Chain A
């Protein structure tokens, strides 16, 4: 192999990836720099990659003078923790029996799950059911229960993992020793399944943290806004606020140009901080389950 040629290729390839990294990084840099730039400077120069006149007014207004961001974080944390815990419980409880080849009626329960992944009744009837029958509009339930509490795709991932990694002989042996099904699941199967539980927990947690669809359908009172729903409303509404300000109303006092960037930074921050540490579990979760999407 011509070594010199390979070196040239490697340099070019690294150069290409560095360009990709820059493309990924620049939007975040603009977001962050603009959020710590003085409002007047932003209005004059626009959003830039580097901060010009450093100024933390936007953050002060959002975190000190207002409680909505902190409350949004609080709602998001409660929803994510509760939702993920219940989701994992439901997923494991459904996946484990499905992984037991000896269970009579296993095909029925498999199909019962599969069919929900193939055919959807549509959001309109779900919406009417959740709001008219269960009355979840403007409650915390609205952010936790619809759609996200158990996802067929993750159940299949867990089942596949159990089937492949828990030897049937081990289960049979424990049963002969007198262990009940619940004990087998809790003391033998689950401890052997930590990798899949971590990967699933992360992905479910992320889908709760990032969710805003339940929010825009089922929540319209400020006090139930999760951080994502809050961000969604802020971007769509300050547009209207700005229009109102232009038509002569007193709107100049709110530094909305820098505040918009600051709320987005605050919204992205938790995932940004956690991601590097958990990155390998994400990759595992994605590669284990993706083909069966």
Chain B
């Protein structure tokens, strides 16, 4: 009786949870059930659960092709480069921002470096196009031509794209990471710096012994979180920025673009689902592992 009364008291709170629960079931849990697709030969008429079982056939097929290696390699290597280069640049800029005097300019710099982060990747693909287009692009017409160099057909030459994609990624997101590191530094007590100065420590010593140690935990946590997502890629960066060009596929195909093309363009549902499940499972293991490490290091920042 008492229990029933207690639950009754909380009834409105349970009602509040309901719309969210329904959405989670539809948007997340039902598709989780749909992973059985990876083990089926999908037939539009028979539906997901009615389609014929084919066991591990889709996986066998996927891992026999060169594609599996290419998309895994691209996804992992790009992410690794992004993590390393991105962190170094963001930490460097954050420290510099912290060392600056002049409140107004500091604010201005912060505002500006964050801006590319909030612009959609579609717009960024136009910015890249303005630079890279063969006939009218800025690189060919304004830089290479005056130097007397032959124009480069950027959108059909794969060897440039690892660099181009890294530059675009850094351009878009270094400000975001920089603001995170910078906000970790704003919290550091200024008295440490003053005390160090009085003791005769120069700028580099102060950065080395005070600033960097204060950034350490943020760097570790953000890196671990990035590592946990290393099997996922920014679809827009790898699909829209290279304009979905077939000539570039070897260096721009990641798991996400592969799944999209399989599903939407090649109509290869089984293979797409197999690649998707491969991504989900490895991603799941990586998140769990990263969380265990974060938890050991800084329990407050752990996801669960």
Task: Mark A residues whose CB is within 8 Å of B.
Answer: 1, 6, 9-10, 13-14, 16-17, 20-21, 23-25, 27-28, 30-31, 34, 42-43, 45-49, 89-91, 93-94, 96-97, 100, 103-105, 109-114, 116-129, 132, 145-147, 149-150, 155, 180-182, 185, 206, 209-213, 216-217, 228, 231-232, 235-236, 239, 257, 260-261, 263-264, 267-268, 271, 275-276, 279, 282-283, 286-287, 290-293
Are the CB atoms of B122 and A232 closer together than 8 Å?
Answer: yes
Of residues 17 through 57 on chain B, the ones whose CB sits less than 8 Å from some CB of chain A are 17, 19-21, 23-24, 26-35, 37, 42, 44, 47-48
Instruction: Given A13-B96, A210-B120, A283-B110, answer yes or no on A46-B137 (Cβ-Cβ < 8 Å).
Output: yes
| The 7 residue pairs across chains A and B that have the minimum distance between CB atoms | A125-B34, A46-B141, A122-B276, A121-B31, A94-B20, A264-B126, A210-B120
Closest to B203 in A: A9
In the complex, what distance in Å separates the CA atom of A91 from the CA atom of B295? 26
Are the CB atoms of B142 and A125 closer together than 8 Å?
Answer: no
Are the CB atoms of A282 and B141 closer together than 8 Å?
Answer: no
Q: Can you give 8 A-B contacts (C-beta < 8 A)? A: A47-B131, A97-B14, A120-B32, A122-B31, A182-B12, A271-B118, A279-B111, A293-B225
Are the CB atoms of A103 and B120 closer together than 8 Å?
Answer: no
In the complex, what distance in Å separates the CA atom of A107 from the CA atom of B173? 35
Instruction: Assess whether B101 is interfacial by the CB under 8 Å rule.
Output: yes
Instruction: Given A13-B99, A21-B109, A21-B112, answer yes or no on A292-B301 (Cβ-Cβ < 8 Å).
Output: yes
Instruction: Assess whether B7 is interfacial by the CB under 8 Å rule.
Output: yes
Are the CB atoms of A90 and B19 closer together than 8 Å?
Answer: yes
Instruction: Given A1-B197, A31-B126, A47-B133, answer yes or no on A206-B118 (Cβ-Cβ < 8 Å).
Output: yes
Are the CB atoms of B240 and A257 closer together than 8 Å?
Answer: no
Segment of B65-73, B78-86, B158-166, B282-290 in the binding face: B282-290
Neighbour of A290 across the interface among B116, B180, B279, CB < 8 A: B180
Closest to B127 in A: A27
- Give the chain A neighbours of B176 by CB distance below 8 A: 286
- Give the chain A neighbours of B19 by CB distance below 8 A: 89-90, 93-94
Are the CB atoms of A31 and B127 closer together than 8 Å?
Answer: yes
Q: What distance in Å separates the Cβ of A16 from its nearest Cβ neighbour in chain B? A: 6
Instruction: Assess whether B243 is interfacial by the CB under 8 Å rule.
Output: yes
Q: Which of A27, A110, A236, A260 has the largest number of chain B CB atoms within 10 A?
A: A27
Instruction: Assess whether B125 is interfacial by the CB under 8 Å rule.
Output: yes
Neighbour of A24 across the interface among B105, B115, B135, CB < 8 A: B115
Are the CB atoms of B109 and A268 closer together than 8 Å?
Answer: no
Neighbour of B24 across the interface among A116, A268, A279, CB < 8 A: A116
Closest to A48 in B: B142
Closest to B198 in A: A1
Instruction: Given A13-B99, A124-B276, answer yes or no on A150-B23 (Cβ-Cβ < 8 Å).
Output: yes
Q: What distance in Å separates the Cβ of A126 from its nearest Cβ neighbour in chain B? A: 4
Are the CB atoms of B122 and A125 closer together than 8 Å?
Answer: no
Task: Mark B residues whose CB is within 8 Å of A.
Answer: 6-7, 10, 12-14, 16-17, 19-21, 23-24, 26-35, 37, 42, 44, 47-48, 93, 96-97, 99-102, 105, 109-116, 118-123, 125-127, 129-131, 133, 135-138, 140-142, 145, 171, 176, 179-180, 183, 197, 203, 218, 221-222, 225, 235-236, 240, 243-244, 259-260, 263-264, 269, 272-273, 276-277, 279-280, 283-284, 287-288, 301, 303-304
Neighbour of B136 across the interface among A46, A109, A276, CB < 8 A: A46
Q: What distance in Å separates the Cβ of A246 from its nearest Cβ neighbour in chain B? A: 10
Q: What distance in Å separates the Cβ of B228 from its nearest Cβ neighbour in chain A? A: 9
In the complex, what distance in Å separates the CA atom of A293 from the CA atom of B136? 40
Are the CB atoms of A125 and B31 closer together than 8 Å?
Answer: yes
Are the CB atoms of B28 and A121 closer together than 8 Å?
Answer: yes
Closest to A242 in B: B135
- Give the chain A neighbours of B273 by CB distance below 8 A: 122, 124-125
In the complex, what distance in Å separates the CA atom of A26 from the CA atom of B10? 57
In the complex, what distance in Å separates the CA atom of A126 from the CA atom of B27? 7
Neighbour of A30 across the interface among B27, B138, B171, CB < 8 A: B138
Are the CB atoms of A43 and B135 closer together than 8 Å?
Answer: yes
- Give the chain B neighbours of A286 by CB distance below 8 A: 114, 176, 179-180
Are the CB atoms of A283 and B179 closer together than 8 Å?
Answer: yes
Closest to A276 in B: B111
Are the CB atoms of B272 and A94 closer together than 8 Å?
Answer: no
Neighbour of B101 across the interface among A10, A118, A125, A231, CB < 8 A: A10
Q: What distance in Å separates the Cβ of B18 from its nearest Cβ neighbour in chain A? A: 8
In the complex, what distance in Å separates the CA atom of A239 from the CA atom of B85? 32
Are the CB atoms of A119 and B280 closer together than 8 Å?
Answer: yes
Instruction: Given A123-B260, A124-B273, A231-B126, answer yes or no on A27-B141 (Cβ-Cβ < 8 Å).
Output: no
Are the CB atoms of A283 and B114 closer together than 8 Å?
Answer: yes
Q: What distance in Å separates the Cβ of B254 from its nearest Cβ neighbour in chain A? A: 13
- Give the chain B neighbours of A114 by CB distance below 8 A: 303-304
Instruction: Given A24-B115, A122-B273, A149-B23, answer yes or no on A129-B130 (Cβ-Cβ < 8 Å).
Output: no
Are the CB atoms of B16 and A181 closer together than 8 Å?
Answer: yes
Are the CB atoms of A42 and B136 closer together than 8 Å?
Answer: yes
In the complex, what distance in Å separates the CA atom of A86 from the CA atom of B264? 29
In the complex, what distance in Å separates the CA atom of A206 from the CA atom of B120? 9
- Give the chain A neighbours of B21 by CB distance below 8 A: 94, 109, 112
